[in-house]
Amino acid sequence: MTRTLSKSTLARPRTEDPRASTSKGEETRREILDQALRLSSELGVAGLSIGALASRVGMSKSGLFAHFSSKDNLQVAVIEDASRRFIEMVVAPALRERRGEPRVRALLHGWLAWSQQDFMPCGCVFMAAATELDDRPGPARDRLVANQRDWLDTLAGAARIALSEGHFRGDLDPEQFAFEALGAFASYAFYTRLLRADDATARVRAAFDRLLRDARGSRQKARVGGVPEPS
């Protein structure tokens, strides 16, 4: 029996490197997630859908569905991608700083810089998602809660190390430090996104510096282990 081959079949090589296909698929997925994160910043994670993202990236819904299979999976993927970026941009650089206050300061100011990235045109996707998903049980909320607990634990852990290094006062509560840092950051998001306040960045920087001064205590006002207090 003779098999008829189309021109397109004849044009294809007989064998294809599966690694090339995988690499192309991963690259496509990364590009999709880039746009999904941007769209989530604009519309919110809860507002992110297969249809809305398909329109943004110029793909068919069925093509996009093949990557994520459901709206829930898409939302979780966006939160996970944002978490990966946050670790790369905020946590990893801070961990290269000296233990103690220098590392805590790097975490705080990296957090602020994170919220001003171009790929989140409407601000930190985690802060927006926290408002949207607080009363919406599901996998996206579960992933967000895990992400934010990890971040607060990281911040409290860095403050605890600063305490052990003698940079912070002995009676400091590291969990309270993380709580108050989150309060300052949430206020920054409110002032920036809702009030459109021009002085929001200056205010949150002042709040972070005040938090560090309080953590340092009266016994170390000017310098901490060779770290000058910011002007």
208 within a domain of the structure (yes/no) = yes
- What single DSSP character describes residue 67? H
User: Is residue 155 included in any domain, yes or no?
Assistant: yes
Does 229 fall in a domain? no
How many structural domains is the chain composed of? 1
Pinpoint the alpha helices (H) of the chain.
7-11, 18-43, 50-57, 61-68, 71-86, 92-95, 101-114, 125-133, 139-164, 174-189, 200-216
Q: By the 8 A CB rule, do 201 and 188 touch?
A: yes
Residue 1 reports pLDDT greater than 60? no
107: domain CATH number?
Answer: 1.10.357.10
d(CA 224, CA 161): 13
Residue 190, in any domain of the structure? yes
Contact between 33 and 64 (Cβ < 8 Å) = no
The confidence score (pLDDT) of residue 147 equals 97
> Is residue 77, in this structure, part of any structural domain at all?
yes
User: How far is residue 139's CA from residue 55's CA, in Å, rounded to a whole number?
Assistant: 24
19 in any annotated domain: no
- Tell me the residue range of the domain where 87 lies: 72-220
pLDDT digits (tens, 9 = 90+) for 32-85: 999 999 999 999 998 898 999 999 999 998 888 888 989 999 999 999 999 999
The CA distance from 22 to 14, in Å, is 18
Q: Is residue 123 domain-resident?
A: yes
Q: What percentage of the chain carries pLDDT values higher than 90?
A: 73
Q: What is the pLDDT of residue 165?
A: 97
pLDDT, the chain, mean? 87
Q: Is residue 62 part of a domain?
A: no
